[in-house]
Every structure is written in structure tokens, then in C-alpha cells.
Amino acid sequence: MHKSLSIYRRKLSHVCNLKPYKDTRWLMPNGNPTGLFVYNCVADQKVPVILSDPHIGTWYSCGPTVYDSAHIGHASCYVKLDIVQRILKSFFNIKLVTAMGITDIDDKIIKKGIETKTDFRTIAKQYEYEFWLDMSNLNIEKPSIITRVSEHIGSIEQFIKKIINSEMAYVTSDGSVYFDTSKFSSYGKLHKMQESGEPLDDFKKNKMDFALWKGKKPGEPSWPVSWGEGRPGWHIECSAMVSKVFGSQLDFHAGGVDLQFPHHENEEAQSCAFHNTLQWANYWIHVGHLHVKGDAKMSKSLRNTISISELLEKYSADTFRMACLMSNYRYPMEFSDQMMETAEQTLKNFKFFFKDVCVYVNNSNIQNGDYNDKLLDDLQKVEHQNLKFLKSDFDTASCINNLSNFISNTNKIIKADNNEYYPVPMILIADYVTTVLLNLGLTLKESKQDNVSGSIIDTLVDFRHTVRLNALTRKDKDLLNACDVVRDKLKAIKVQVNDSNQSSSWVYTR
């Protein structure tokens, strides 16, 4: 049997074996535990991640509505999702097949098209192009599959038709189609609600009912379907596109926490109705909001947004990612210069450490190298602790904190004045820390231009180090002052020098 078909069959069989988890509304899939635990809003607690094949997972992210430039709220959402995906792939050996939906038909896009006298398709294409450019500048991996609403009208029509036929949706006199929430007993499982929802209008049977299809309005783009003419509602598009790609069951479904209700609630309801199943998405991954310090919430309508290109003019993508790593994905993040400076300093400490290790292991003044069992034990301990942190709802903040403490303790040995020399454990430690940071999506790169000026700075810092050691031995104050002047001048051009008696190292601070 073709491999993907065999996976499919296993997935279908496991849907029939769902059982409630500790008296919650979340149903535990039947499959193989991965050892990971992730918070799920349906269970309102961390639940075990169980996959049919523990090394294969399916993932769908709700993508942007492409009507304007993306801002740092989008950046934090997609960087954090990228981090979670990388953890699944690199630390837990799960091959992820990822898809993202692009909303390229929507009220806001149509409105912008009318305002700017531009075809709505051109607006969508322009901002989608810009979105992928921003994502690439943030070192976010592109999804394996990209689905656009405009390319899936046929799948959406078929999806809605099946729900109408099962009498869980109804067509109204204006050609719209609504999902009948009174026919779906688990409506509200993602979001414990009192009667919210849009007010009852002339067409809805129940207050919570939502539009699967919007009947044609004059001047708006529309598509002919068997029950009339119009365009898809927002929620239906993701369900139809996911079902086309992944079938009747999905492992991970992700987006910003603002999508939990009503968007994901509605997606789950209509997809369960379509596939006649009790649970469609097994794991909901919701990213906490980003607030700009002092502002309630950043949104385009409040005009308090910072675009991704504005962000990257001031800070590197690595610095922003470090800030995201230091705030766990699920929690709100308060954006401020202070937060970014802390992230920059943390990143700089790692870079200093790598340079210091490099200088330390290449030290030609010491004769006898040694293994250091304690250092190797510490390394093993840190590896074990970090896996434990990441297994528990992707706790990157504790992982980074643990690594920071580890390099700071290791640094004390590097900087000590006792001629102790442990090249092997030092290389293994630097290798491990580098691998973890790269696996979390940091690039740790300097630009090409920086590489050239880097060799010049290397030479200057080496020379200054020799002069400084001589001056220290001879207690030559004038020469020491001259060394300080060089250090301060370098600092002014964003090169920070870190002195010790063993060596001097440096990093760019921008």
C-alpha cells in the first residue's frame, strides 16, 4: 500500500477510538505518545501529544488576510509558531507536513480595492508577496503547502453542500448559508461562553449561528454556486482547505489566540459536521498577543502598529526571535525597547561565549590539556533539563535561561587565571549550545560586510590584547589608558570588547 494511504487508514481508525481525557471535552487520540505535553484550550490543561505515527504530524496555520502590511503582532505570532514547529522537528524528530491558508477574498480587501480603485485580486497579490518577504526576513520557514481562498471556491462549495444536505446548515432568502449551531451539541468546546455572537438578524435561526456563505451584494465580487451566487464566509475557507489537504483529521491547528473564538470554534463545528466525527483538530496551538507597552492592543484600526520592516531597521531578526524565545509562545508579550535590549544582550552573551571558547581552545601558551568530567556531566544535565522544558508545552523561556546560566558558569572557567585547559568539553559545550540556538531558528550570522570588517577587528583586538598585557605587567598607565581609548572608540562603532587576562574577544552590538 502507498505509504500516505496507510497513514490515512490509521488516522481514520484512530478517529473511531477517541476517548474523553480526565473528564474533559477533549478526546484523546488513539496512537503513539511522543512524550510531549501541550496546552489544549478544549481540555483547559496540558494534554499528551499522541500521533498515529509518532514521527509524522500534520499542521495547519491560519494565515493572514492580505489587505495591508504585516505588523510586529503578526511577526510575533508567526515567529513563535515557527519556533514550535522547529522544536517538533529538531528536538522530537517529528516530520511535519505544514499548510497555511491565505485569505485573499475578504471585506477588508474588497474595501481597499474600492478605495484605491484597484482590483481586489491585485491588492491581495501585492500584500501576499510582501508577507512572504517579511516572513523570510524573520527566518520563518515557508509552509509545505499554501492554500488561497480564491483557488478553492469549488472545494468550499462542495463542503457547504454536504453540510446543507446533512441539515446542519440552512440557506436563507438572500442566498446566504448559515451553520445551525443548535444541531451541534458540542458547540462552545473551545471557548466557554455565555450567549455571545453577533446579534440575531432577519436570517439567523439562532444567535450563535454563523455564515458559511454570504449572498451576493451589489458591487462586490461573487461566484455562482448551486444555491445562488455570493462568496465564502471567513471560517469555512480554512475547514475546506484543510480537509482537501489533510482529510478528516488534523494533528495541529494553529493561530493567534484571538482566533480561538469564534474562528476556530466555528471551524471545529463545521468540520466535525462535514466529516461526521467528534473531534477534528486534536491540538490547538494558540499564540498569545503582542502588546506595545502603554497601548491596550496593537491593531491596524487603532493605527498604533509597527510594521515588520520598521522593526527590522532597528533590531535584527535574531534579536526579535530571542525576545520571542524568552517569552513562551502562549503568553502575552509586551513589546518595548527595554525588552528588545534584554534580548539583544542575551544574544550577545552567547556570541561572546562562542568567541571566547574559540580563543580558549586555541591558546598556545598552555601545555597540558585535560578532560573535565564535571563539565561533561554538567553538559549532560543541561541537555536533559532542556528536553524536559521543551517537552512541557514548548517552554523556551526556561530553556534559554538554563543555557544562559550554563554559559555563564562555563565562562568562569574560561576566564580563570589558573592555566586550567579543557579543550574537549569546551568544544562539546559550545557545539551543543550552538546547535540548540540554530534549531530554534536563530541564524547567529553576521552580514557579509561584517565578515570583512570582522577580520580587521580581529587583528586590532589581538594587537590591543598583547599591548594591554604588556602594559599591565609593566604597570604602564599611559599605555593602559590608550588601550581604554581604543576599546571606547570601538564601542562607539558598535563593537564591544570583552577583556580578560587570558584573551580578549569582541562582538557586534547592533
* Binding piece for Zn ion, criterion CB under 5 A, among 129-137, 169-177, 234-242, 454-462: 234-242
Tallying the residues shown for the chain, one arrives at: 510
User: 208 vs 112, 156, 283, 386, CA distance in Å?
Assistant: 29, 21, 24, 44
Query: Which is closer to Zn ion, CB of 233 or CB of 425?
Result: 233
Residue where the block lists cell 512572504: 132
Rule CB under 5 A: choose which of 28, 47, 49, 238 binds Zn ion: 238
* Binding piece for Zn ion, criterion CB under 5 A, among 133-141, 201-209, 232-240, 439-447: 232-240
Is residue 315 within 8 Å of residue 344, measured between CB atoms? Answer: yes
Residue by residue, DSSP assigns 490-508 as HHHTTEEEEE-SS-EEEEE
Q: What's the closest the beta carbon of residue 278 comes to Zn ion, in angstroms?
A: 20
User: Which DSSP state fits 190?
Assistant: S
Q: What's the closest the beta carbon of residue 116 comes to Zn ion, in angstroms?
A: 26
R_g over Cα of the chain = 28
Q: What's the closest the beta carbon of residue 238 comes to Zn ion, in angstroms?
A: 3
Q: What's the closest the beta carbon of residue 396 comes to Zn ion, in angstroms?
A: 24
Q: What's the closest the beta carbon of residue 17 comes to Zn ion, in angstroms?
A: 27
User: Which DSSP state fits 494?
Assistant: T
Query: Which is closer to Zn ion, CB of 234 or CB of 394?
Result: 234
Residue where the block lists cell 494534554: 47
- Taking residues 61 to 100 in sequence order and writing x for each that binds Zn ion by CB under 5 A, - otherwise, the string is -x--------------------------------------
Query: Which is closer to Zn ion, CB of 212 or CB of 238?
Result: 238
Is residue 359 within 8 Å of residue 505, measured between CB atoms? Answer: yes
Query: Which is closer to Zn ion, CB of 76 or CB of 271?
Result: 271
The span from the CA of 77 to the CA of 73, in Å, is: 6
Query: Which is closer to Zn ion, CB of 267 or CB of 318?
Result: 267
Question: Distance from CA of residue 462 to its chain's centroid?
Answer: 40
* Element (DSSP H or E) covering residue 99: strand 95-103
Query: Which is closer to Zn ion, CB of 272 or CB of 340?
Result: 272
Question: Distance from CA of residue 408 to its chain's centroid?
Answer: 27
User: 25 vs 21, 186, 267, 495, CA distance in Å?
Assistant: 7, 8, 16, 55
Query: Which is closer to Zn ion, CB of 187 or CB of 389?
Result: 187
Q: What's the closest the beta carbon of residue 262 comes to Zn ion, in angstroms?
A: 11
Q: What's the closest the beta carbon of residue 179 comes to Zn ion, in angstroms?
A: 15
User: 288 vs 79, 122, 282, 397, 474, CA distance in Å?
Assistant: 12, 31, 19, 14, 58
Q: Which grid coordinates belong to 270? A: 463545521
The span from the CA of 292 to the CA of 453, in Å, is: 35
Query: Which is closer to Zn ion, CB of 52 or CB of 239?
Result: 239
- Taking alpha carbons only, the member of 29, 26, 46 closest to residue 38 is 46
* Binding piece for Zn ion, criterion CB under 5 A, among 74-82, 238-246, 432-440, 453-461: 238-246
Query: Which is closer to Zn ion, CB of 62 or CB of 333?
Result: 62
Q: Quick one: 435 exposed, middle or buried, by C-beta within 10 A (0-12, 13-18, 19+)?
A: exposed
Backbone torsions φ then ψ of 37, nearest 5 degrees: -125, 135
Q: What's the closest the beta carbon of residue 101 comes to Zn ion, in angstroms?
A: 6
Q: What's the closest the beta carbon of residue 259 comes to Zn ion, in angstroms?
A: 6
Q: What's the closest the beta carbon of residue 107 comes to Zn ion, in angstroms?
A: 16
Backbone torsions φ then ψ of 51, nearest 5 degrees: -120, 150
* Binding piece for Zn ion, criterion CB under 5 A, among 49-57, 150-158, 235-243, 294-302: 235-243
- Taking alpha carbons only, the member of 2, 3, 7, 1 closest to residue 247 is 7
Query: Which is closer to Zn ion, CB of 52 or CB of 61?
Result: 61
Q: Is the peptide bond before 262 cis (omega within 30 degrees of 0)?
A: yes
Query: Which is closer to Zn ion, CB of 238 or CB of 375?
Result: 238
Residues numbered 26-65 forming contacts with Zn ion, rule: CB under 5 A? 62
Pairing relationship of beta strands 290-292 and 281-287 according to DSSP bridges: unpaired
Q: What's the closest the beta carbon of residue 250 comes to Zn ion, in angstroms?
A: 11
* Binding piece for Zn ion, criterion CB under 5 A, among 230-238, 286-294, 411-419, 452-460: 230-238
* Binding piece for Zn ion, criterion CB under 5 A, among 131-139, 205-213, 231-239, 356-364: 231-239
User: What SS3 class is residue 195?
Assistant: coil
Query: Which is closer to Zn ion, CB of 67 or CB of 406?
Result: 67
The span from the CA of 352 to the CA of 396, in Å, is: 21
Query: Which is closer to Zn ion, CB of 249 or CB of 346?
Result: 249
Size of the site for Zn ion (CB under 5 A): 2
Q: What's the closest the beta carbon of residue 254 comes to Zn ion, in angstroms?
A: 9
The span from the CA of 450 to the CA of 228, in Å, is: 61
Q: What's the closest the beta carbon of residue 8 comes to Zn ion, in angstroms?
A: 23
- Taking alpha carbons only, the member of 227, 107, 225, 232 closest to residue 172 is 227
The residues that touch Zn ion, with contacts defined as CB under 5 A, are 62, 238
